[in-house]
């Protein structure tokens, strides 16, 4: 196994931004595991499925899902912008709750560790995907702080903003991520917890860097 950093935490806590910066600083390959769940939710919506059945599992298995830096492709189609839609976030728990789908995603994302030193963000990276990761971080932030960050992101993408619906979706997603039966979001005992509400991105990066150096 190569060097692995697992970054878990709640939606909108800054995991991806921090992981991306650390990946550049330490020359690690960055994988956002949430992008796989988002891409599979996109596939589900696009093909008008109403339940996860054998046909859908076959479709997931037949579909080429490829991550390349910040972009994610479904059979060659770049769906990076589409997967950030609020519609995807609201429907994703159905996909993320399914054990067969989680196994497919885990198999794909574990492959990366065979060839590269990686930093991966998600909900179950330190607990399920890489329980032997070299460094585990668990990032949190208040729901209100995360709502403000999400609002800023959406405005930058020229998307519509409804502050209440953002907050509502964050709180609902936290609940679903933490209370699902399979691979719920929990802090691994050996993970270092960082509460980022009052911290800048740089401060979080510096804090994690101290542990990487150690
Ligand atoms: O990290 P991101 O917000 O893109 O993840 C989207 C959703 O995918 C999460 O709310 C969660 O339901 C699911 N997910 C997961 N396990 C992971 C990563 C993401 O269940 N390792």
Q: What is the mean pLDDT of the chain?
A: 94
Is residue 177 lining ligand 1, measured as CB closer than 6 Å? yes
Is residue 145 lining ligand 1, measured as CB closer than 6 Å? no
Q: How far apart are CA 21 and CA 23, in angstroms?
A: 5
Could you tell me how far CA 17 lies from the centroid of its own chain?
Answer: 11
Ligand 1 site-directed mutation target among 9, 33, 44, 154, most atoms within 8 Å of CB: 33
Please give the number of the atom of ligand 1 that sits closest to the Cα of 37. 8
> What's the pLDDT score for residue 102?
97
Give the rounded percent of residues in the chain with a pLDDT score beyond 90. 86
> What's the pLDDT score for residue 183?
95
Q: How far apart are CA 195 and CA 41, in angstroms?
A: 29
- pLDDT surpassing 80 at residue 143: yes
> What's the pLDDT score for residue 214?
65
Q: What is the pLDDT of residues 54-80, one digit of tens each?
A: 999 999 999 999 998 789 999 999 999
Which of the two residues, 114 and 59, has the higher pLDDT score?
Answer: 59
Tokens of 7: 């970054």
Is residue 122 lining ligand 1, measured as CB closer than 6 Å? yes
Nearest CA to ligand 1 atom 16: 123
Average pLDDT of span 164-191 = 94
Is residue 124 lining ligand 1, measured as CB closer than 6 Å? yes
Q: What is the pLDDT of residues 150-165, one digit of tens each?
A: 899 889 988 889 999 9
Ligand 1 site-directed mutation target among 122, 147, 169, 170, most atoms within 8 Å of CB: 122
Q: What is the pLDDT of residues 31-45, one digit of tens each?
A: 999 999 999 999 999
Q: What is the pLDDT of residues 85-112, one digit of tens each?
A: 878 987 899 999 999 999 999 999 999 8
Per the CB < 8 A criterion, the answer to whether 72 and 31 are in contact is no
Where in the chain does DSSP place strands (E)?
4-9, 29-32, 65-68, 71-74, 77-78, 118-122, 135-140, 192-195
| CA dist list (Å): 78 to 29, 59, 75 | 20, 18, 9
């Amino acid at each position: 196994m190569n060097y692995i950093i697992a970054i878990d935490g709640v939606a909108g806590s800054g995991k991806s931004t921090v992981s991306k910066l650390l990946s550049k600083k330490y020359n690690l390959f960055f994988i956002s595991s949430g992008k796989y769940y988002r891409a599979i939710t996109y596939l589900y919506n696009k093909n008008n499925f109403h339940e996860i059945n054998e046909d859908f599992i076959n479709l997931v298995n037949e579909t080429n899902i490829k991550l390349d830096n910040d972009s994610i492709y479904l059979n060659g189609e770049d769906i990076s912008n589409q997967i950030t839609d609020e519609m995807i976030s609201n429907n994703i728990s159905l996909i993320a709750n399914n054990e067969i789908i989680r196994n497919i995603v885990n198999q794909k994302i574990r492959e990366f560790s065979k060839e590269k030193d990686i930093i991966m963000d998600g909900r179950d990276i330190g607990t399920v995907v890489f329980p032997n990761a070299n460094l585990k971080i668990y990032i949190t932030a208040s729901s209100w702080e995360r709502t403000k960050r999400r609002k800023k992101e959406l405005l930058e993408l020229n998307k519509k903003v409804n502050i209440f619906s953002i907050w509502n979706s964050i709180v609902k997603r936290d609940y679903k991520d933490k209370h699902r039966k399979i691979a719920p979001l929990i802090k691994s005992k050996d993970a270092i917890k960082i509460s980022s509400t009052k911290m800048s991105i740089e401060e979080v990066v510096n804090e994690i860097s101290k542990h990487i150096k150690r």
